[in-house]
């Protein structure tokens, strides 16, 4: 297995085997990231393909100030955001004053399978899904999200809050469905 440095050098020299090896090394993890921002496997694969085209086109600009994984992940997230950006304006985003948060009830996620949770996240409205992923999964702060999406920080917070509430409702429904199957 070539080193990361050898893969980069090979890709820069248009070596198809190096490009394939780099893709194979990161595609699975990056597909999982793109799935968090998509409604379907096909949409996630489109995002992944577009992102890797960007990776190969811009690899000459990789300055090795971060890990290659982090650099590629950033490209995948930005590609997913660009893909979703046009959809964000089709759906209204509510500001913080209009969100009603119900009582917090504790529940455990340990009863849920990862794929079930992914489907729930994918079924969130576009704005909620994007902001939930950026904040809860990718670790961006609300002010950073606001800058990235050209929205207010309050809108980012309210969409995140709304996403949490919708996910809780989905989890409760899923939990009820499990118990009803055993009756």
Q: How far apart are the first and last CA of the chain?
A: 53
Range of lowest pLDDT (14-23, 65-74, 76-85, 86-95): 86-95
pLDDT tens for each residue of 82-122: 887 766 554 444 444 444 434 444 444 555 677 777 888 88
Residue range 4-88 forms a domain whose CATH class is: mainly alpha
C-alpha span between 45 and 41 (Å, rounded): 6
- pTM flag (> 0.75): no
Looking at domain 96-181, does it have CATH number 1.10.533.10?
no
Nearest to 139 by CA among 131, 127, 147: 131
Locate the domains of the chain by residue range: 4-88, 96-181
Can you tell me the distance from the alpha carbon of 56 to that of 100, in angstroms, rounded to the nearest whole number?
A: 45
Q: What is the DSSP annotation of 42-74?
A: HHHHHHHHHHHHHHHHHGGG--SSS-HHHHHHH
Mean pLDDT of 7-22: 95
- In eight-state DSSP terms, residue 92 is -
């Amino acid at each position: 297995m070539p080193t990361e440095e050898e893969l980069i050098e090979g890709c820069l020299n248009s070596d198809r085997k190096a490009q394939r090896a780099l893709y194979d090394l990161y595609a699975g993890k990056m597909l999982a990231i793109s799935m968090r921002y998509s409604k379907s496997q096909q949409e996630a694969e489109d995002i992944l393909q577009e992102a890797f085209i960007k990776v190969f086109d811009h690899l000459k600009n990789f300055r090795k100030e971060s890990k290659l994984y982090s650099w590629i992940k950033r490209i995948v997230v930005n590609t997913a955001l660009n893909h979703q950006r046009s959809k964000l304006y089709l759906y209204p985003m509510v500001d913080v004053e209009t969100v009603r948060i119900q009582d917090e009830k504790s529940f455990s996620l340990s009863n849920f399978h990862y794929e079930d949770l992914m489907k729930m996240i994918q079924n969130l409205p576009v704005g909620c899904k994007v902001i939930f992923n950026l904040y809860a999964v990718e670790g961006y702060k609300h002010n950073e999200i606001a800058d990235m999406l050209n929205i207010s920080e309050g809108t980012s917070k309210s969409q995140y809050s709304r996403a949490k509430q919708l996910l809780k409702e989905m989890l409760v429904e899923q939990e009820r469905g499990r118990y009803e199957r055993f009756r």
